[in-house]
Structure 1
């Protein structure tokens, strides 16, 4: 069993070195590349004003966050959820720079950068020269991001989880024999046959109407490969 975490943060600005702080953290758990249904999400009092330009991006003001726990207070629980597993983030160096700053303020060792997986780097390798923002990747892979009217960390990690699965080869829920639910849609669990449940194979033959419809469709194709396959088959009987 492999466990991977998809992480996103929202912040008061762009640079922790100038005093910007984390105000939201969201993490989604994947087991064998399938969302398990477990996630971690918390809003944080950044202990400073949220500039108007940042509030326009994610919708949070300091007044909305006053009274929420401070980062040092949520850190023990977050560390338990993160464990020692790989952490995926889009433009991961941004999120990790803020996490490093917050961990140091709390007197804790920073997360080993060897655990960091940057989905933006993966996307640039897959689609060089193309836009590779989270929104652009959602459009490219046909992932519905219509609810993303602002940068909400919990919604972003759910979208990024779907994007990451596509970047890793498009593994579909259900193929990993994982029985846990997905956050937004159920997992179809594949069940392997045992000696008690195995059944004899049943031959399924198409009807004459289905065969005729198939031939009519093939005739519309330009130089269909199917004709050469049928011609090469030995005659029945």
Structure 2
């Protein structure tokens, strides 16, 4: 599906009653068509500086798709790959993140790296680290932002300094549609421990205007830091109003602490890949920010705090902070 076809599909008069009346096959066919349109629009948005459409169309199409997915059932879709989930940040994003922490431009970092991904390890330590970041983490119903919901978001800020402590910690639980989740339960509860009782009566993230405005304001004033930041980035693209537009305009910078781990922690390459050495929990154990008897909580605020303290510990080992 090309961009024009995707826009035609997204703008067509949508009558959900007709789709649902056709049963599973009709709903699944509509989901596939909708996700093809979403992919075409997202690809176009990311590849051009001046898209021919408003990103509101993309968010609304994703909202429509979630209704279809709820009718199909999360379990049926769990193993179908998401076309909206980025696997990693771009090289340009990594350069911008390094530049933000060192008080210099992304272009200056890119000139040093010259397209050599192995050179990022040197770029991270070339200049002193300083400034403030917004550490953030979300818990969701799955890995596909075009199908699922944000259940919990936690954040705090921290100065990038050797002895700083995180400040302004906040956490918010977000709701789910009663149908079907009251009966079927919260997806991935075995991982994050979030039960229906914890989200019952809460406002859904997409409907919580106050929360959205607060988060966007923080993101516009602080570089964002998250572990496997492409995950948060992909979800905020489709769930946080104004985020995609600000990202494209260069007003939001996102830093991936997992990339920091992979570039700076020399143990990552010596450990078996199947042991997930760059996972936050394993990295934190190696740096002493998580004891051997503790486990990662898989809740937004707790994981954001652990991530910030582990990044700080790694940077202290390398003497990276400005004095």
* TM bracket (short chain): 0.5 to 0.7
- How much is the aligned-residue C-alpha RMSD, in angstroms? 2.8
What is the CA–CA distance in structure 2 between the aligned matches of 1:162 and 1:109, rounded to whole Å?
26
Aligned-partner Cα distance in 2 for 1:168–1:137: 13
CA contact (8 A) 1:9 1:24 kept: yes
| Bigger radius of gyration | 1
* Deviation (angstroms), 1:64: 2.6
2:192 corresponds in structure 1 to: 58
Higher helix content, 1 or 2: 2
Distance 1:2 1:96, change over 3 A: same
User: 2:289 matched to which residue of 1?
Assistant: 143
Alignment of 1:1-237 (within 5 A): 2-17=131-146, 19-33=147-161, 34-47=164-177, 49=181, 54-71=188-205, 72-73=207-208, 74-103=211-240, 106=241, 108-110=242-244, 111-112=246-247, 115-126=253-264, 127=266, 128-129=268-269, 130=271, 131-145=277-291, 146-148=293-295, 150-170=297-317
Alpha-carbon displacement from aligned partner over 1:116-146 (angstroms, at most 9, x marks no partner) = 1111111111234231111111111112354
Evaluate the alpha carbon distance shift between residue 43 and residue 147 of structure 1 in structure 2; reply closer, same or farther with a 3 A threshold: farther
TM-score, with normalisation over the residues of structure 2? 0.47
Secondary structure of the residue that 2:155 maps to in structure 1? strand
Taking structure 1 as the reference length, what is the TM-score of the superposition?
0.63
In the TM superposition, residue 36 of structure 1 has moved relative to its aligned partner by 4.3
Structure 2 stretches lacking a partner, 5+ long:
1-129, 272-276
Q: 1:36 to 1:16 in 2, by over 3 A?
A: closer
Give the number of equivalent residue pairs.
Answer: 171
Cα displacement (A) at 1:63: 4.1
